[in-house]
Amino acid sequence: MQKNLEKNILVTGGTGTFGKAFVKKLLDLRFTNIAILSRDELKQFELRDELGTGSIKYFLGDVRDFERVRQVVSNMDIVIHAAAMKQVPASESNPLEAIKTNILGTENIIRASIENSVEKVIALSTDKATNPTSLYGATKLCADKLVIAGNFFPNNISTKFSVVRYGNVLGSRGSVIPLFKHQVKSNTITITDARMTRFWITIEQAVNFVMDRIPSMQGGEIFVPKIPSFKIIDVARVVAPATPIEVIGIRPGEKIHEIMINTDDALNTYDLGDFYVIVSPSNPNIQYYESKGKGVPENFSYSSENNTRWFNLESFEMLLKSINLI
């Protein structure tokens, strides 16, 4: 990314957990043309107070509003689309709101990027988009499909679209670790199923993974990092070892295990060492990945249950201490 220091970069959802960390990374790398699009003026005020104005332009707006998106995207070279409605229970009870933000909002980003000849767009996805059982996962799957299809829109002359899909970000807003730390006060931690596993990634790892994909992306691919799994009940044991645990039953839309690559995806998936890439067979860039990586076995799947990389209690505790979560 160093050679792109003069590029104009827009981060949608720039005041969220990922967005803030990505913007800070850009500042550390001395990027001078950074823009944020988000809809919460208080969060923008707080971020401006923390980071200053300097190299950052702050735009208030909602990705649901196409005209506003088109205005903000004009003159941008790279768009990182991180804005989303992310909470599973909230999406289940407010499905139309999730559809408007995650699907129609993504469509607006695609249309505006093509109209303004943006060079590259990376949209952030989630393990919940693979074989979705929740409304949130279903909307993110639709968004992924839209982003990949954006490469082949008839009016797209030069814009490249790709997706980055990863698991739970440790310590992100609304995630399980802050919840467990809050529940300690009531002397009971609740989990929904003792068997439940998840993929885990630090915010720094997520930011670096996205950053590293920008120079190499060809367009039309889904990038999946290789990251460890860990049981939710073991997360509770690390975060609050002395607090009793109550199993309360699985919530609507929740899975026992998450999956990032299913057996159908495996037919078009390549192993590039530290990550996988899923490439549609109709993608003209498939030969690039055939030369860079190795196809996975035919019945391959990448789930938090069958993962070959696992935390144990000690390694997970050490990681949380290293990022000041415990």
pLDDT > 90: what percent of the chain? Answer: 87
Instruction: Show the DSSP H helices in 94-175 as ranges.
Output: 95-98, 105-115, 135-150
Q: What is the mean pLDDT of residues 132-154?
A: 95
C-alpha distances (whole Å) from 135 to each of 61, 100, 281, 305, 311 are 24, 12, 27, 22, 29
Domains annotated for the chain, with CATH where assigned, are 2-167+200-226+262-303 (3.40.50.720)
The span from the CA of 168 to the CA of 307, in Å, is 15
Going by pLDDT thresholds of 50, 70 and 90, the confidence category of residue 2 is low
Going by pLDDT thresholds of 50, 70 and 90, the confidence category of residue 318 is very high
User: What is the model's pLDDT at position 112?
Assistant: 98
Give the active site residues.
128
Cα–Cα–Cα angle for 307, 279, 112, rounded to 5 degrees: 115
CB-based burial label for 163 (10 Å; 0-12, 13-18, 19+): buried
pLDDT in tens, 180-237: 999 999 999 999 999 999 999 999 999 999 999 999 999 999 999 999 999 999 999 9
Q: What is the mean pLDDT of residues 236-252?
A: 93
User: What is the model's pLDDT at position 1?
Assistant: 60
pLDDT > 70: what percent of the chain? Answer: 98
Q: What is the mean pLDDT of residues 52-60?
A: 87
Q: Is the pLDDT of residue 253 over 90?
A: no
User: What is the model's pLDDT at position 4?
Assistant: 66
Tell me the pLDDT of the chain averaged across its residues.
94
Going by pLDDT thresholds of 50, 70 and 90, the confidence category of residue 47 is very high
User: What is the model's pLDDT at position 311?
Assistant: 97
Q: Is the pLDDT of residue 3 over 70?
A: no
User: What is the model's pLDDT at position 6?
Assistant: 77
Q: Is the pLDDT of residue 281 over 80?
A: no
Q: Is the pLDDT of residue 14 over 60?
A: yes
Going by pLDDT thresholds of 50, 70 and 90, the confidence category of residue 178 is very high
CB-based burial label for 158 (10 Å; 0-12, 13-18, 19+): exposed
- Kindly tell me the sign of the dihedral angle through the C-alpha atoms of 174, 180, 183, 185: negative
